[in-house]
Amino acid sequence: MLQSLIDVILPVFLVIAAGYAATYFGYFKDSHIDGLMKFTQGFAIPCLLFLAIAQLDLSASFDPRLLFSFYTAAGLCFSAGLFGARLIFNRDWEDCVAIGFCCLFSNSVLLGLPITERAYGPESLTGNFAIIAFHSPFCYGIGITVMEIVRNRGNSGTQLARSVLSAMFKNALILGISLGFIVNLSGLMIPTVVDDALRLVTRAALPVALFALGGVLVKYRPEGDLRAIGYVCCVSLILHPGLVWAFGKSVALPQDLFRSAVLTSAMAPGINAYIFASIYGRAMRVAASSVLLGTAASVLTAWFWLTLLG
């Protein structure tokens, strides 16, 4: 399956490498990369998700077996990260939550979408978008809730719920997904001129985001905490897709959805893992280095899972 590495995976990582090289050698400054990342994370990718969810055939896309397979595995990986950080590495509970979030939040958009599309074609992304529709709400819901419980022992349930909802709905990705559901369920038609404008923006979303991701990774230096970083990468790149594979087979998940679920779960921790850690100021070095090393390692691990999927 060497051809799959060349045809499917390497083009994606060459775009990331181009962003890394351009920033490392000073052609792009940090402020330029920050602007590109702000454009993609705050506007282009929310537009992509809005359009995808608004036009998704919900009855055909949201197979309960797909969501069960992916999110049961994701929840178990969060637990593995949380309790592994506590029992193996003796981190305090706030650090443990941040490390658990790294194991939970796979890079479903910047890596999962382009790799699945290149491997199986644009028509294969139905399962990816179904997963992505719940990904940020699910992951941030778990991460923020557990972190707030740990940090605010003794506070009322009302205060806890308010802080969780406030943090979630400040996230542009969640807003884009929510608006997409509103349009889809209401039956509203997107005017042609608006649809065309959105499609112009969304064409730039993934390539610009991949380039910007390369630039962001220049800031991250894998130093210290190497055992914890290695643990996060193993959970993200091996345990998560392995569990999804087992669950998907056990419930006879259709092949196209099975491929989407396994490949999405096999992606490295996303940039949101570092964003979550930086929000709370906990385990930031572990999160940053896990994004960097996990993204590099996923060149080979994605090839491995693509080979198994056939």
Burial of 119 (0-12, 13-18, 19+ CB in 10 A): middle
Structure tokens at 36: 């590109």
- Say what the pLDDT of residue 270 is: 84
The domain tally of the chain equals: 1
- Say what the pLDDT of residue 154 is: 58
What's the mean pLDDT in 11-34? 89
Q: What angle do CA 266, 271, 277 make, to 5 degrees?
A: 110
- Say what the pLDDT of residue 215 is: 86
CA torsion angle 127 131 134 136 (round to 10): -140
Structure tokens at 65: 């077996």
Interval 206-250: pLDDT, tens: 888 888 888 877 876 666 688 999 999 999 999 999 999 999 999
Burial of 234 (0-12, 13-18, 19+ CB in 10 A): middle
Residue 5 binned pLDDT confidence (cut-offs 50, 70, 90): low
Here the CATH number for the domain that contains residue 136 is 1.20.1530.20
Model's pTM, two decimal places? 0.79
Domain containing 144 equals: 2-309
Interval 260-295: pLDDT, tens: 999 999 999 987 888 788 778 888 888 888 988 898
Between the alpha carbon of residue 199 and those of residues 50, 193, 253, the distances in Å are: 11, 10, 31
Q: Judge contact between 117 and 124, C-beta under 8 A.
A: yes
